[in-house]
Protein backbone atom coordinates (compact mmCIF):
# COMPACT_ATOMS: atom_id res chain seq x y z
CA UNK A 1 0.00 0.00 0.00
CA UNK A 2 1.16 3.47 -0.67
CA UNK A 3 1.26 6.23 1.80
CA UNK A 4 -0.90 9.10 0.84
CA UNK A 5 0.83 12.39 0.24
CA UNK A 6 -0.28 14.89 2.78
CA UNK A 7 -0.61 18.34 1.38
CA UNK A 8 1.40 20.89 3.26
CA UNK A 9 -0.24 23.05 5.84
CA UNK A 10 0.28 26.76 5.94
CA UNK A 11 3.92 27.26 6.85
CA UNK A 12 4.85 23.57 6.37
CA UNK A 13 7.82 22.47 4.26
CA UNK A 14 6.65 21.93 0.66
CA UNK A 15 9.45 19.38 0.12
CA UNK A 16 8.42 17.20 3.03
CA UNK A 17 7.78 13.62 2.19
CA UNK A 18 7.03 11.09 4.88
CA UNK A 19 8.94 8.27 3.11
CA UNK A 20 12.08 10.36 2.65
CA UNK A 21 15.01 8.91 4.57
CA UNK A 22 16.02 10.89 7.53
CA UNK A 23 19.39 10.67 9.15
CA UNK A 24 21.80 12.62 11.13
CA UNK A 25 22.24 16.17 9.97
CA UNK A 26 25.85 16.82 8.95
CA UNK A 27 27.55 19.14 11.34
CA UNK A 28 29.27 22.09 9.72
CA UNK A 29 32.04 23.69 11.67
CA UNK A 30 31.06 27.12 12.93
CA UNK A 31 34.31 28.70 11.62
CA UNK A 32 33.61 27.62 8.08
CA UNK A 33 30.19 29.20 8.23
CA UNK A 34 31.36 32.46 9.76
CA UNK A 35 31.30 35.32 7.25
CA UNK A 36 34.77 36.72 6.45
CA UNK A 37 36.72 33.78 7.87
CA UNK A 38 38.21 32.88 4.48
CA UNK A 39 39.06 36.55 3.87
CA UNK A 40 40.84 36.62 7.22
CA UNK A 41 42.95 33.60 6.25
CA UNK A 42 43.87 35.22 2.90
CA UNK A 43 45.02 38.52 4.41
CA UNK A 44 48.56 37.38 5.35
CA UNK A 45 49.03 35.84 1.92
CA UNK A 46 47.87 39.01 0.19
CA UNK A 47 50.14 41.14 2.37
CA UNK A 48 53.09 38.88 1.53
CA UNK A 49 52.35 39.10 -2.20
CA UNK A 50 52.02 42.89 -2.00
CA UNK A 51 55.31 43.07 -0.08
CA UNK A 52 57.14 40.94 -2.66
CA UNK A 53 55.73 43.02 -5.52
CA UNK A 54 56.76 46.24 -3.77
CA UNK A 55 60.32 44.98 -3.29
CA UNK A 56 60.47 43.80 -6.91
CA UNK A 57 59.24 47.20 -8.10
CA UNK A 58 61.89 48.90 -5.98
CA UNK A 59 64.64 46.71 -7.44
CA UNK A 60 63.48 47.29 -11.01
CA UNK A 61 63.29 51.05 -10.41
CA UNK A 62 66.79 51.12 -8.91
CA UNK A 63 68.19 49.18 -11.88
CA UNK A 64 66.47 51.49 -14.32
CA UNK A 65 67.81 54.62 -12.61
CA UNK A 66 71.31 53.14 -12.41
CA UNK A 67 71.28 52.18 -16.09
CA UNK A 68 69.97 55.61 -17.09
CA UNK A 69 72.71 57.34 -15.10
CA UNK A 70 75.38 55.07 -16.57
CA UNK A 71 74.17 55.72 -20.11
CA UNK A 72 74.12 59.46 -19.48
CA UNK A 73 77.66 59.35 -18.10
CA UNK A 74 78.85 57.33 -21.10
CA UNK A 75 77.24 59.76 -23.53
CA UNK A 76 78.72 62.71 -21.64
CA UNK A 77 82.21 61.20 -21.73
CA UNK A 78 81.83 60.41 -25.42
CA UNK A 79 80.74 63.98 -26.15
CA UNK A 80 83.70 65.35 -24.18
CA UNK A 81 86.23 63.24 -26.12
CA UNK A 82 87.77 65.42 -28.82
CA UNK A 83 87.89 64.50 -32.49
CA UNK A 84 91.67 64.60 -32.75
CA UNK A 85 92.02 64.55 -36.53
CA UNK A 86 89.75 67.62 -36.85
CA UNK A 87 91.63 69.50 -34.12
CA UNK A 88 95.05 68.63 -35.57
CA UNK A 89 94.13 69.54 -39.14
CA UNK A 90 92.52 72.80 -38.04
CA UNK A 91 95.63 73.94 -36.12
CA UNK A 92 98.52 72.20 -37.93
CA UNK A 93 97.22 71.24 -41.36
CA UNK A 94 99.72 73.33 -43.37
CA UNK A 95 102.71 73.28 -41.01
CA UNK A 96 103.01 69.59 -40.02
CA UNK A 97 102.35 66.09 -41.29
CA UNK A 98 99.06 64.95 -39.72
CA UNK A 99 97.75 61.37 -40.02
CA UNK A 100 95.26 59.29 -38.07
CA UNK A 101 91.61 59.32 -37.11
CA UNK A 102 89.30 60.79 -34.49
CA UNK A 103 90.80 58.70 -31.66
CA UNK A 104 94.51 58.71 -32.49
CA UNK A 105 96.58 61.23 -34.43
CA UNK A 106 100.24 61.25 -35.35
CA UNK A 107 101.81 64.67 -35.90
CA UNK A 108 105.34 65.23 -37.22
CA UNK A 109 106.94 68.67 -37.16
CA UNK A 110 110.30 68.90 -38.92
CA UNK A 111 112.96 71.29 -37.67
CA UNK A 112 112.59 73.41 -40.79
CA UNK A 113 108.92 74.11 -40.01
CA UNK A 114 109.12 74.28 -36.20
CA UNK A 115 108.85 78.08 -36.04
CA UNK A 116 105.76 78.10 -38.27
CA UNK A 117 104.14 75.18 -36.41
CA UNK A 118 104.62 76.59 -32.91
CA UNK A 119 101.54 78.92 -32.78
CA UNK A 120 99.27 76.17 -34.18
CA UNK A 121 100.72 73.56 -31.84
CA UNK A 122 100.21 75.90 -28.87
CA UNK A 123 96.57 76.49 -29.89
CA UNK A 124 96.01 72.75 -30.35
CA UNK A 125 97.50 71.92 -26.94
CA UNK A 126 95.38 74.65 -25.32
CA UNK A 127 92.20 73.34 -26.96
CA UNK A 128 92.97 69.80 -25.78
CA UNK A 129 93.51 70.96 -22.20
CA UNK A 130 97.27 70.52 -21.87
CA UNK A 131 99.19 72.83 -19.57
CA UNK A 132 101.28 75.57 -21.17
CA UNK A 133 104.43 73.85 -19.87
CA UNK A 134 103.92 70.92 -22.27
CA UNK A 135 104.95 72.99 -25.30
CA UNK A 136 108.06 74.13 -23.42
CA UNK A 137 108.89 70.51 -22.55
CA UNK A 138 108.43 69.53 -26.19
CA UNK A 139 110.79 72.31 -27.30
CA UNK A 140 113.47 71.19 -24.84
CA UNK A 141 113.27 67.47 -25.62
CA UNK A 142 116.54 65.96 -26.82
CA UNK A 143 117.12 62.72 -28.71
CA UNK A 144 118.63 61.25 -25.52
CA UNK A 145 115.41 61.89 -23.54
CA UNK A 146 113.46 59.12 -25.27
CA UNK A 147 109.68 59.18 -25.27
CA UNK A 148 107.97 61.74 -23.06
CA UNK A 149 104.31 62.09 -22.25
CA UNK A 150 101.68 64.49 -20.93
CA UNK A 151 98.00 64.36 -20.05
CA UNK A 152 95.34 66.73 -21.30
CA UNK A 153 91.56 66.83 -21.01
CA UNK A 154 90.24 63.44 -22.22
CA UNK A 155 93.41 62.76 -24.18
CA UNK A 156 97.13 62.28 -23.77
CA UNK A 157 100.20 62.81 -25.90
CA UNK A 158 103.54 61.07 -26.23
CA UNK A 159 106.44 62.55 -28.17
CA UNK A 160 110.03 62.01 -29.17
CA UNK A 161 112.53 64.23 -30.88
CA UNK A 162 115.37 63.36 -33.22
CA UNK A 163 117.28 65.90 -35.32
CA UNK A 164 116.78 63.81 -38.47
CA UNK A 165 113.09 63.03 -37.92
CA UNK A 166 111.86 66.14 -36.12
CA UNK A 167 109.32 66.23 -33.31
CA UNK A 168 107.02 63.21 -33.54
CA UNK A 169 103.83 63.33 -31.44
CA UNK A 170 101.03 60.83 -30.96
CA UNK A 171 97.77 62.12 -29.48
CA UNK A 172 95.29 59.57 -28.12
CA UNK A 173 91.71 60.31 -27.14
CA UNK A 174 90.05 58.65 -24.18
CA UNK A 175 90.33 58.59 -20.43
CA UNK A 176 93.61 59.83 -19.09
CA UNK A 177 95.60 57.09 -17.41
Q: Is there a domain that residue 99 lies in? A: yes
For the segment 91-112, the average pLDDT, to the nearest whole number, is 91
Full domain range(s) for residue 119 = 84-173
**pLDDT above 70 for 133:** yes
For the segment 96-106, the average pLDDT, to the nearest whole number, is 93
The whole-angstrom separation of Cα 122 and Cα 48 is: 67
**Whole-structure pTM value:** 0.56
* pLDDT in the model for residue 79: 63
Q: Is there a domain that residue 127 lies in? A: yes
Q: Is there a domain that residue 101 lies in? A: yes
29-31-36 Cα angle (round to 5)? 140
User: Over the chain, what is the mean pLDDT?
Assistant: 82
**pLDDT above 90 for 71:** no
Q: Please provide residue 118's backbone torsions phi and psi, each rounded to the nearest 5 degrees.
A: -60, -45
Q: Is there a domain that residue 54 lies in? A: no
Q: Is there a domain that residue 75 lies in? A: no
Q: Is there a domain that residue 134 lies in? A: yes
Q: Check residues 14 and 130 and name the one with the higher pLDDT.
A: 130
For the segment 122-151, the average pLDDT, to the nearest whole number, is 93
The whole-angstrom separation of Cα 110 and Cα 31 is: 100
Q: Is there a domain that residue 67 lies in? A: no
Domain count within the chain: 1
Question: Strand pairing partners for 151?
Answer: 156
> Contact, 121 vs 135, CB < 8 A?
yes
Amino acid sequence: MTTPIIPPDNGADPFYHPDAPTGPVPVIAPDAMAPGSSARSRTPILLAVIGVLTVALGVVTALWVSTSNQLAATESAKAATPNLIEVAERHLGDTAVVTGDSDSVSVVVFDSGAAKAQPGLRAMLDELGFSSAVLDRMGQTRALDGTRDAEGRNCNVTWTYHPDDGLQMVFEAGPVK
